[in-house]
Amino acid sequence: MSVRVRVAPSPTGAPHLGILRTALFDFLCARHHRGTMILRIEDTDRNRFVPGCEEEIMASLRWLGIDWDEGPDVGGPFGPYRQSERKEAGIYAIWVQKLLDEGYAYWAFDTPEELEEMREYQQVNRQPVGYFGGTWRDASGAQVEAARASGKPGVIRLKMPRGRLLVCDDLVRGRVEFDSDTVDDPVLIKADGMPTYHFAAMVDDHLMEITHIIRGVEWISSAPKHVWLFEAFGWTPPQFVHVQVINGPDGKKLSKRHGDTRVFDFKYAGFLPEALANFVALIGWAPGGDREIMSMDELVEAFELDGLQPSPGVFDIEKLRWMNGHYLRGLSGESLLEKVGAYSGDPDVRAFWARDEHAALPTGPALADLSRALTLDPALAEEAFVLVRERVVTLADFGEACDFVFVDRPVMDPAAVGKWLTVPHARRLFECLAADLVSPEDAISVEACERLVRSFAEGHGIDKLGPVVHPVRVALTGRTVGPGLFELMSVLGRRRMIERFENALRLLP
| Amino acid at position 23, single letter | A
Q: Cα dihedral sign for 480, 484, 486, 489?
A: negative
CA nearest neighbour of 241 among 284, 274, 192, 277: 284
> Which of 31, 45, 40, 37 shows the shortest CA–CA distance to 79?
40
d(CA 424, CA 434): 17
- On whether the CB atoms of residues 245 and 219 are closer than 8 A, the answer is no
Query: Quick one: 151 exposed, middle or buried, by C-beta within 10 A (0-12, 13-18, 19+)?
Result: exposed
Backbone angles phi, psi at 71, to 5 degrees: 175, 175
Q: Give the number of other Cβ atoms within 10 Å of residue 121's Cβ.
A: 11
- What is the three-class DSSP state of 246? strand
364 with 393: CB under 8 angstroms? no
Contact present, 492 and 503 (Cβ < 8 Å): no
**CA separation for the pair 456, 463 (Å, rounded):** 11
Q: Is 109 left (phi over 0), alpha (psi -120 to 50) or beta?
A: alpha
CA distance 94 to 294: 46
* Residues catalogued as catalytic: 256
Burial class of residue 233, CB neighbours in 10 A (0-12, 13-18, 19+)? middle
